[in-house]
Structure 1
Amino acid sequence: MNPIQKITTASLSRLTHTSRKTRVVGAGALALALCAFGAVATAPITQDDSNVQVVSVAENLALPNLSDQIAALQQDEQQFIHEERVRPGDSIGTMLGRLGVNDAQAQNFIRTDKLARRILSLKNGKRLQAETDENGQLLSLRATLTDKDSAPTTLTIARHGDGFKASEAPAKLERRVEMRSREITSASLYSATDANVDGGSIPDSVVNEIVQMFSTNIDFRGDLKRGDRFNVVYETFWLDGELVKTGRILAGEFINRGTSHQAVWFEDPVTRQGGYYSLDGKSLKKAFLKSPLEFSRVSSGFSNRVHPISGQWKAHKGIDYAAATGTPIRAAGDGTVESIGVSGGYGNMIVIKHWSNYSTAYAHMSRFGSGLRKGAKVSQGQVIGYVGSTGWSTGAHLHYEFRVAGVARDPNGLKNLMAAPLSNGEMARFKMAAAEMNHRFSLMTPGGNAMAAR
């Protein structure tokens, strides 16, 4: 006979009069039997339990010695963490007091150590965190220092032997991605960005970048009209719940007079160089700057002229920009340093190789930019040197050449040249990034979810 079929009502009744522990075991066994063998539920249950044998199992369990555990815990040094925010009129004494610190040596160190004293410059509302022992002796004190002219840092004062030591390290910022959508209700773009329609205004730095991104397609002084709208996705960086700085615009869309303009930031993971592209992968950046100097005047164009030193009539294969000695020279486009050093009458000279067969040359420099060498990567706008008068030169200026396959060309004839197109591999990665940003745009369209996403 199957052992499962020996379970009877009488045996169940007998089991229910045993201890609570036994009842639980019996009920569990029945439940397992019912789940595992469905036939038991339909078989008739008889009163015959003469063949059922009940076995009791007992086990001695050792209880933990709680008194020993409590004694061991009491022997361990207890540490406590306290957190407070700076209040108006706080001194170092009152701040430490609220933090549970009762340590005259710590107070004296903070007052006398040059780095530790920066704790005293914290503004109201800034957070401090202290770690103390059970007697209120300071083990460590931490605070975040923020300065408009430098990145935020974390100041740590920690017990070190019989004294204390102060140290400073870059603060770890929390990166968030913000989404904002606005409709133009007046002729001013900035008035629309101040509207508190989704929990906060858009920082001016983001607005300025929006103007720069779309300025080649939209005249923001005359083309805006009521009903235009824009969507923007950008980075923000936070510390202790406070906005520290805004980062890069990751994507932007501007609908002007019914025409939509989009831009998506894409950065190559290998070269770490990036730029803005339309959703179909076309670069929105010009391949080369109009001028490698920010403020200058053209003293000699791309044409034939009388050489100022030899006095002979000959072709001038570049453009001369007159500027004061030391004026920063910017790379006209992304590329690699092909050569750097003294080059005869050109004096101190750098040649940069760009995509395809384009290259640019910069001569008569007073000195080169720091860290530059042959083979170094440079990005458009990066300072590569400074104006001078080295080589065959009669005064401080930059001689700038634009070359195609090694032949000098007039850069003004190629001013509309677009940046290098994406490779097949880059295009595949870009399409994934663009699809995500296009989805975000759809969430911010009227009727979508235009709230900030963090």
Structure 2
Amino acid sequence: MFSRDKLIDLGARGKALFGVTRKSRVVSYSALFLALCAFGAAGVAPMAPDAADLPVKTVALELALPDLQSQIAAQAESTAYYVREEKVRPGDSLATLLKRLGVDDAAAAEFIKNDHAAYQVLQLKPGKQVQVQTDADGELQWLRTTLGNGRDAASNLLIERDGAHFKAKQTPAALEQRVEMRSGEIRSSLFAATDQALIPDNVALQIVEMFSTDIDFASDLRRGDRFNVVYETLWQNGEYVRAGRVLAAEFVNGGRSYQAVWFEDPASGQGGGYFGFDGKSLKKAFLKSPLEFSRISSGFSMRKHPISGKWKAHKGVDFAAVTGTPIRAAADGVVHFAGVQGGYGNVVEIKHWSNYSTAYAHMSRFASGLRKGMKVSQGQLIGYVGSTGWSTGPHLHYEFRVSNEARDPLKVDMPTAQPLAGGQLQRFRGVTSDMLHRFALLNPQDQNTRLASAK
């Protein structure tokens, strides 16, 4: 082993022998690097072999050529099918529709004309989509379309070739639900305004039903009245099938705003209904008018009788309407009388709860099956406008009675159902919040008024 002094001495000798210092090492390394760069620039050959000198292996694979003749023969033996789609046009007959679809099949046309289910193809409205599959000769393999008139449940119709014959099958349609928002302004009538706003008729009828306890759509409408409506639409494969339920509506009549929203609470187990944005039910005890569309020809007052010529109290309201206009029960109740009664002609009397009753006179005929003792619900059909008894023209004489004493139905304050409360009210407010947002998108300037009415 070397001592410490010996080691120091050897180190000193090494430095003297080689003259190595840290500075000299750095200089030496730098010189070496510059020398290598110089050699590379002078064209010194790399250490790796040239790729051009490496041996090349060639692999040969034998690929079988396709048998084109057999493919052509198989294609000739197979049957080609074609799928086409067309929309029904105004004035289309079965022949013109099938021709546009590329169907040249007399047997198929004959089947459609004579089969009960398949015949509905002839009743399709313009705009309905029809799909077919045919072979190269135009023979029908199948035909598909969606049925529905905008009110009934939609269904799919499928007509298929079964050997030399055809069969038709109708099944319920699986529909996609969308939400539409529309607004309009009254210029002449409600239906003219809804037509201009592209709102379906069954949605317009729902608006009438929703607000019929507050607005008489025959006499109360004013030019400039406005409305907003949010409603369901049902689609299948991108095709409009029909409109569904109105989800919310707002009607401004004579400067006064009426609002309604559909609310159905599964947690309570009760059916749905329409409520104001404050949670109060819109269903009142009595309808304002037993007719959907009419005009008041004689009010509750003293008048000169049109037949006797004598002045006497008119203890009801006369609604002028064409013969056959449907008459609805003003409220839930039981039929007390249905028959002929002197000057009233064909008349129906309905007893309601407590001491309320209503009478409907001069009917042309009664609703089918209506009889004494039968329970009726609000809005149910009970008969049709006529001119029987002491009458000079078709109209409905409507009486509202309390303890058998006639009252003016246009001035009586009608009670409503109990408002929502508790957990139901909280869930209801979630629904109304969404509908208020939608109304704001339709008419932003009215948002502050809506928020105030919802509180």
The more displaced of 379-388 and 144-153 is: 144-153
2:261 and 2:275 in contact (8 A); partners too: yes
Give 1:126's aligned residue: 129
2:228 and 2:251 in contact (8 A); partners too: yes
Distance 1:377 1:268 in 2: 26
Task: Establish whether residue 246 from structure 1 lines up as the match of residue 243 from structure 2.
Answer: yes
Give 2:338's aligned residue: 341
Distance 1:323 1:445 in 2: 35
Distance 1:280 1:305 in 2: 45
2:132 and 2:143 in contact (8 A); partners too: yes
Deviations 1:358-409 (A, max 9, x none): 321112322112343443434338463222324xx25445432111133322
Cα distance, 1:407–1:147 mapped onto 2, change above 3 Å = closer
Give 2:387's aligned residue: 388
Counting matched residue pairs gives 330
Task: Establish whether residue 434 from structure 1 lines up as the match of residue 431 from structure 2.
Answer: no
Based on CA coordinates, which of the two structures has the bigger radius of gyration? 2
**If the length of structure 1 is used for normalisation, what is the TM-score?**
0.51
Distance 1:444 1:419 in 2: 30
2:416 to 417, 420, 427: 420
Shift of 1:243: 2.1
Deviations 1:140-193 (A, max 9, x none): 5332256689886543324568622446x58636252426599x9xxx799xxx
The more displaced of 344-353 and 108-117 is: 108-117
Aligned residue identity for 2:175: E
Deviations 1:199-241 (A, max 9, x none): xx9744569977986997x9986698xxxxx985421121331
Give runs of aligned pairs for residues 111-122 of structure 1, distance below 5 A.
113=114, 116=118, 119=121
Distance 1:275 1:378 in 2: 16
Give 2:146's aligned residue: 144
Structure 1: gaps (5+ residues): 1-79, 98-102, 191-200, 225-229
Distance 1:336 1:387 in 2: 23
Give 1:176's aligned residue: 177
Aligned residue identity for 2:385: Y
1:253 and 1:441 in contact (8 A); partners too: no
**Matched residues, percent identical?**
32
Give 1:69's aligned residue: none
Give runs of aligned pairs for residues 302-451 of structure 1, distance below 5 A.
302-303=301-302, 317-320=315-318, 326-328=323-325, 330-331=327-328, 333-345=330-342, 346-354=344-352, 357-373=355-371, 374-380=373-379, 382=381, 384-390=383-389, 393=390, 395-396=392-393, 397-414=395-412, 417-418=413-414, 420-422=416-418, 431=425, 434-441=428-435, 444=438
2:350 and 2:359 in contact (8 A); partners too: yes
Distance 2:347 2:432 in 1: 44
Give runs of aligned pairs for residues 27-66 of structure 1, distance below 5 A.
none
Aligned residue identity for 1:365: M
Give runs of aligned pairs for residues 257-296 of structure 1, distance below 5 A.
262-266=259-263, 274-283=273-282, 287-290=286-289, 292=291, 294-295=293-294
Give 1:86's aligned residue: 86
Give runs of aligned pairs for residues 5-20 of structure 1, distance below 5 A.
none
Distance 1:353 1:433 in 2: 36
**If the length of structure 2 is used for normalisation, what is the TM-score?**
0.51
Cα distance, 1:301–1:370 mapped onto 2, change above 3 Å = same
Give 1:23's aligned residue: none
Structure 2: gaps (5+ residues): 1-79, 89-94, 188-195, 445-455
